[in-house]
């Protein structure tokens, strides 16, 4: 009979414990509701802060764990002439003086006070549509600004992600096509995980009255834009903006984060880094993360964040993998990585063997009596015609139809100081190939040209065609000159 009171006492204590736990839980939830707003719009801001704005490829300092601020963004619109590629200039319309425009970095809960100024020397009114804004026109309706004026509007940053901004003044496509786009990053509370290097890249397609490479100041061509026939597809506003001395850099073992945008106005980007795999891709700049990705699609007016670790040194080529855009229209950049090699990951070249010693791929020239003798040429015109045929079959892909080459990849043959300075050297390059760094017309190239399967007369023909085209020295190359160089040991 003594066990019953003990049982009742245990049951009573159990009930008291449950009530106490419920009270604690309700109190904690109540306090949490008071201290942590349910919606981003209710996050309070503390003090004002001038936004750090950066030109590409640089990005502002990460937000880290800072509290939400009243963030003052001061941006000026500038219409100014710049270089599209060597000898080709263009009047860009810019946010902040660069294409793409200044990078804006915020965090969820920030209240952004945006000051948009249109420089008095500009010719046209402009505005701004930020895809991160919840409001009419993404801010465009509140920001239409004439030259010499300033518009101010504000918005609350609600959704984390990477967003495009662009001009939305009619004709909208024309304003975007002239370079009026950029990126605004909204970091989550607590910020993004830290990485070693961060860079800002944005693709755009440009449409000019002149053909690709036509020199001089080029105007915008509306019909080409409507037909989506881009003359240039580039990263960061111009051909070569991210090559040579302008290449982005990292060290072996570092993690790289690229904030990628596509201003368009028309073309989708298939972004790829040759020799790397993306460990993480924030698809379209949002919360969805894909892993182990080779190439990621970025729609016109869209964005993505990619992250990867660089394991070995070298120059890694960044491209739009719609590949003719990269090697023929300019959508090519470089990431230069320095550090110790890791042979476990990448060995480098082990051997250079001959594969199938017969056939068109053989990498040795015919010798002695086995050389097939072509019929004697009757005239310079006949030699030039045969040389042009050989050029289009052998040289065209790398050096292009007008000898302009491919920027940062293959040197030009047109007006080439390297070519015109030494005829024997030029013959030797065609006969033996060329590997390593050379300087042509003041630009440095470091690519590979393999030995060509051409007879001595074909070498003479093609070089005569090149020397007599595109402003070169008009030298005539004979088979005897080629034989002389070939026989030099």
Compute the mean pLDDT over every residue in the chain, rounded to the nearest whole number: 88
166 is an annotated ligand-binding site residue = yes
In tens, the pLDDT along 167-183 reads: 999 999 999 999 999 99
Residue 108 binned pLDDT confidence (cut-offs 50, 70, 90): very high
C-alpha 427, offset from chain centre: 36
Can you tell me the distance from the alpha carbon of 273 to that of 178, in angstroms, rounded to the nearest whole number? 26
Give me the DSSP letters along 43-84.
----SEEEPP-B-TT--PPP-TTPPP-EEEEEEEEEEEEEEE
Q: Which two tokens stand for residue 103?
A: 């990078």
119 is an annotated ligand-binding site residue = no
Question: So what's the pLDDT on residue 329?
Answer: 93
Question: So what's the pLDDT on residue 46?
Answer: 87
The DSSP secondary-structure symbol of 327 reads I
Does the domain spanning 198-338 belong to CATH 2.60.40.420?
Answer: yes
Q: CA separation (Å) from 311 to 25, 308, 451?
A: 49, 9, 32
Question: So what's the pLDDT on residue 393?
Answer: 72
Residue 405 clears pLDDT 80, i.e. is over it: yes
Does the model's pTM come out above 0.85?
no
Question: So what's the pLDDT on residue 361?
Answer: 43
Question: So what's the pLDDT on residue 134?
Answer: 95
Note the CATH number of domain 48-193. 2.60.40.420
Give me the DSSP letters along 126-186.
B--EETT--SGGGGHHHH-B-TT-EEEEEEE--S-EEEEEE--PSSHHHHHHTT-EEEEEE
Residue 26 clears pLDDT 60, i.e. is over it: no
395 is an annotated ligand-binding site residue = no
CA-angle at 17, arms to 13 and 22, nearest 5°: 150
Residue 207 binned pLDDT confidence (cut-offs 50, 70, 90): very high
The DSSP secondary-structure symbol of 194 reads P
- pLDDT, average across residues 306-330: 95
Residue 353 clears pLDDT 70, i.e. is over it: no
61 vs 352, which has greater pLDDT?
61
180 is an annotated ligand-binding site residue = yes
Domain with CATH 2.60.40.420 in the chain: 48-193, 198-338
Residue 360 binned pLDDT confidence (cut-offs 50, 70, 90): very low
- pLDDT, average across residues 477-481: 93
Residue 6 clears pLDDT 70, i.e. is over it: no
Question: So what's the pLDDT on residue 213?
Answer: 87
Residue 388 clears pLDDT 80, i.e. is over it: yes
What proportion of the chain, given as a percentage, has pLDDT over 70?
Answer: 86
Give the N- to C-terminal CA distance of the chain in Å, as an integer: 116
Question: So what's the pLDDT on residue 397?
Answer: 72
126 is an annotated ligand-binding site residue = yes
Question: So what's the pLDDT on residue 4?
Answer: 53
What proportion of the chain, given as a percentage, has pLDDT over 90?
Answer: 71
Question: So what's the pLDDT on residue 365?
Answer: 41
Non-local (6+) Cβ contacts of 19 within 8 A are none
Could you identify the residue written with the tokens 């009114």? 125
Residue 394 binned pLDDT confidence (cut-offs 50, 70, 90): confident
Question: So what's the pLDDT on residue 21?
Answer: 60
Residue 36 clears pLDDT 70, i.e. is over it: no
Note the CATH number of domain 378-487. 1.10.760.10
Domain with CATH 1.10.760.10 in the chain: 378-487
How many Cβ atoms sit within 10 Å of the Cβ of residue 76?
16
449 is an annotated ligand-binding site residue = no
29 is an annotated ligand-binding site residue = no
């Amino acid at each position: 009979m003594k066990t019953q009171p003990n049982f009742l006492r245990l049951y009573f204590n159990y009930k008291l414990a449950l009530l106490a736990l419920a009270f604690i839980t309700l109190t904690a939830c109540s306090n949490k509701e008071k201290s942590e707003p349910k919606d981003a719009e209710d996050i309070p801001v503390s003090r004002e802060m001038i936004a750090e704005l950066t030109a590409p490829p640089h990005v502002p300092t990460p937000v880290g764990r800072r509290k939400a601020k009243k963030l003052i963004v001061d941006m000026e619109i500038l219409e100014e002439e710049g270089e599209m590629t060597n000898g080709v200039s263009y009047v860009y319309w810019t946010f902040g003086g660069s294409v793409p425009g200044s990078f804006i970095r915020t965090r969820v809960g920030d209240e952004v006070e945006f000051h948009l100024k249109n420089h008095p020397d500009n010719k046209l009114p402009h505005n701004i549509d930020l895809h991160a804004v919840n409001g009419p026109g993404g801010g465009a309706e509140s920001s239409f600004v004439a030259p010499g004026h300033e518009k101010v509007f504000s918005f609350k940053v609600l959704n984390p992600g990477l967003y495009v901004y662009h001009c939305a003044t009619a004709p909208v496509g024309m304003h975007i096509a002239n370079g009026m786009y950029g990126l605004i990053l909204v970091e989550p509370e607590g910020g993004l995980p830290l990485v070693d290097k961060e860079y800002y890249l944005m693709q755009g397609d440009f449409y000019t009255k002149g053909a690709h490479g036509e020199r001089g100041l080029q105007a915008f061509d509306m019909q080409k834009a409507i037909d989506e026939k881009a003359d240039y597809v580039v990263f960061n506003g111009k051909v070569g903006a991210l090559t040579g001395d302008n290449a982005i850099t990292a060290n072996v073992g570092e993690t790289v984060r690229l904030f990628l945008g596509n201003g368009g106005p028309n073309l989708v980007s298939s972004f790829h880094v040759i020799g790397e795999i993306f460990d993480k891709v924030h698809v379209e700049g949002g919360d969805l993360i894909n892993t182990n990705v080779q190439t990621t699609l970025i729609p016109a007016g869209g964005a993505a964040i990619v992250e990867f670790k660089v394991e070995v040194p070298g120059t890694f080529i960044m491209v739009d993998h719609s590949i003719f855009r990269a090697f023929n229209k300019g959508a090519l950049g470089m990431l230069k990585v320095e550090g110790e090699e890791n042979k476990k990951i990448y060995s480098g070249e082990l051997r250079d063997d001959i594969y199938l010693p017969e056939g068109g791929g053989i990498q040795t020239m015919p010798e002695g009596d086995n050389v097939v003798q072509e019929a004697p040429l009757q005239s310079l015109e006949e030699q030039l015609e045969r040389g042009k045929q050989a050029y289009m079959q052998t040289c065209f892909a790398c050096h292009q139809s007008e000898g302009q080459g491919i920027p940062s990849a293959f040197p030009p043959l047109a007006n080439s100081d390297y070519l015109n300075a030494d005829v024997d050297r030029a013959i030797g390059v065609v006969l033996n190939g060329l590997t390593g760094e050379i300087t042509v017309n003041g630009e440095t190239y470091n690519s590979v040209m393999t030995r060509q399967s051409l007879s001595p007369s074909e070498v003479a023909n093609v070089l005569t065609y090149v020397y007599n085209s595109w402003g070169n020295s008009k030298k005539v190359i004979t088979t005897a000159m080629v034989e002389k160089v070939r026989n030099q040991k």
